[in-house]
Structure 1
Amino acid sequence: MTTVKKLSLEEIADRDAIRDLVDAYAFCADTRDAEGQMALFTEDTLFRVFMDERQAEPDQVINSRQDLFPVFDNLNTYTSTMHFNGQSKINLSGDTATGTTYCFAHHLTVDGDNKNLMVATIRYFDEFVKINNAWFFKKRDLKVAWVETKPQHS
């Protein structure tokens, strides 16, 4: 049997703010707001991309907020994207937290009459920090579980 822990108003507010942070990341991605997306991270952030969640070493490592721009700007290669955040688990510890969020990331490419949809299933493993009463990503591991690509018909 699972026991329900009573949360303080501050813990509820922190959990809500962290979920807003996670959702803001997806919103910025889909609206091509690379600068807004970068602002969600600490200056000394660690962002790692694993194109296969089973691999031990990341395919890409970024060690600062400023170096995130090319990663986020790369979304402009797609005609459209849509990220759907699913369940998440957040573990709070004062002004720090860890969390896992599931995501379906849809990427549409149109080349003349050819339309292709690539859907990446992603698990984000995050470390968060609260600075001046605002939550930021301190570390984000993006782990791709699988990718499906299929042609789209009009």
Structure 2
Amino acid sequence: MSNPNHSPEQAADRVALGELVDAYARLADRRDAPGQAALFTADARVAVYDGEPDTTEPTQVLNGRDELADAFGALRTYDRTTHFNGQRTVTIDGDRATGETYCLAHHLWTEEGQRTLMVMSIRYHDTFVRQDGRWFFAERKLITDWIDRRTSTP
């Protein structure tokens, strides 16, 4: 349901930003690291936080599409992943926007003959920019709230 206080342009921007966030998750699950990196501005920054309540410094920082593509390629170490995006908020100000998206990221692999499942509860804090009529990530903060790792049966 759309908000009657949003103009048609704002509604279209909200849809485009949601599609951008979902494309990131879909490309991650398809192991398309260059495609994921292309969703970011050339000088984008991704900062990873471990989710401890008092954490203010990132544990990892990636800058630019090349570093992002290399890091995104690490998902190939898993047999399968599923990133399931949940609630999302966004605030748009012209050609810039900020938002928060909740995600449950499922990672499945075999370790020492045992199938293993790791589920991560992630919150993404995003800064978006519109360039040449298209929205991109300018900055993405990945905050891990919790991780559940367990054996899994097929």
Common fold by TM > 0.5: yes
1:31-50 paired onto structure 2 within 5 Å? 31-50=30-49
Correspondence for 1:22: 21
Correspondence for 2:144: 144
State the alpha-carbon separation in 2 of the partners of residues 53 and 98 from structure 1.
23
Identity %: 46
State the alpha-carbon separation in 1 of the partners of residues 39 and 52 from structure 2.
23
Q: Provide the secondary structure at the position in 2 that maps to 1:44.
A: strand
Greater Cα shift, 72-81 or 55-64: 55-64
In the TM superposition, residue 46 of structure 1 has moved relative to its aligned partner by 1.0
In the TM superposition, residue 51 of structure 1 has moved relative to its aligned partner by 2.0
Q: Deviations over 1:114-151 (max 9, x none)?
A: 10000000000000000111000000000000000010
1:62-101 paired onto structure 2 within 5 Å? 62-101=62-101
Q: Quick one: structure 1 residues 6 and 141, their matched pair in 2 at CA, closer, same or farther if it must change by over 3 Å?
A: same
- Calculate the TM-score normalised by the size of structure 1: 0.94
Structure 2: unaligned runs, 5 residues or longer = none
Correspondence for 1:12: 11
| Letter of the structure 1 residue corresponding to residue 43 of structure 2 | D
Q: Quick one: structure 1 residues 127 and 53, their matched pair in 2 at CA, closer, same or farther if it must change by over 3 Å?
A: farther
Q: Deviations over 1:99-128 (max 9, x none)?
A: 000000000012464100000000000000
Q: Deviations over 1:10-63 (max 9, x none)?
A: 101000000000000000000000010000000110110112253111010112
| Letter of the structure 2 residue corresponding to residue 86 of structure 1 | G
Runs of 4+ in 1 over 6 A off after TM superposition: none
How many residues matched? 151
Contact 1:80–1:109, Cα closer than 8 Å, also in 2: yes
Greater Cα shift, 65-74 or 17-26: 65-74
Q: Provide the secondary structure at the position in 2 that maps to 1:65.
A: helix
- Calculate the TM-score normalised by the size of structure 2: 0.94
Q: Provide the secondary structure at the position in 2 that maps to 1:49.
A: strand
